[in-house]
Amino acid sequence: MLKKGHLHTVILAGVIFLMSFMVTGCWDRKEIENRGFVLGGAIDKVITPAPKGEYDLPHVTQEAGERKYKVTVEMPRFKKGEENVTGGKENHYIFSGEGESMFQIVRAIGAKTYFSPFFEDLQVLIFSEAVAREGIKDLLDFGLRNPTMRRGVKVFVTPGRAEDILKGKMQVAEINSIFIAKTSQNVKMTPRFATVTSLGEVAQAIRAKRSFGVAEIVMENGDVKLTKGAIFNAEGKMVGELDEWEIVGGKIIRRVLKEGAFSIPNPANPEKLAVFEVVEPRIKVNSHVDGDKLWFTLEAELAGHLGENTETEQKALDPVFLMAVERAMADEFTRMVQVAYHKHQELRADALGLGSLVYRQHPEYWNMVKDRWDEEVFPQTPIDVNIKVIIRRPGMIS
Any residues with CB less than 8 A from the CB of 42 and at least 6 apart, and which?
71, 72, 73, 74, 125, 126, 127, 128, 161, 162, 163, 165, 166
313 Cβ contact list (under 8 Å, min separation 6) = 268, 269
The stretch 149-175 carries a mean pLDDT of: 88
Give the long-range contacts of residues 74-82, CB within 8 A, separation 24 or more.
Answer: 74/38, 74/39, 74/40, 74/41, 74/42, 74/166, 74/175, 74/176, 74/177, 75/36, 75/37, 75/38, 75/39, 75/115, 75/117, 76/37, 76/39, 76/175, 78/32, 78/33, 80/33
Higher-pLDDT residue of 348, 84: 348
Which of 63 and 255 is assigned the larger pLDDT? 255
**pLDDT classification of 330: cutoffs 50, 70, 90:** very high
Element spanning 93, H or E: strand 92-99
Q: Which CATH number fits domain 249-393: 3.10.200.10, 3.40.1350.10, 3.30.2400.10, 3.30.300.210?
A: 3.30.300.210
The single-letter code of the amino acid at 210 is R
Q: What is the pLDDT of residue 54?
A: 47
pLDDT computed for residue 32 by the predictor: 60
Distances (CA, A) of 102 to 130, 151, 249: 17, 17, 36
- Residue 190 contacts residue 259 (beta carbons within 8 Å): no
pLDDT digits (tens, 9 = 90+) for 53-96: 544 544 555 555 666 899 999 888 776 654 554 444 467 888 88
Question: What are the domain boundaries of the chain?
Answer: 32-242, 249-393
Average pLDDT over residues 259-267: 90
- The per-residue pLDDT for range 35-51, each reduced to its tens digit, is 678 889 999 998 866 55
Tell me the C-alpha to C-alpha distance, in Å, between residue 85 and each of 77, 90, 171, 202, 395.
Answer: 8, 6, 15, 36, 48
Q: Which of 285, 302, 305, 278 is nearest to 190 (CA)?
A: 278
DSSP code string of 358-388: HHHH-HHHHHHHGGGIIIIIGGG--EEEEEE
Residues in the chain: 398
Confidence of residue 108 (pLDDT cuts 50, 70, 90): confident
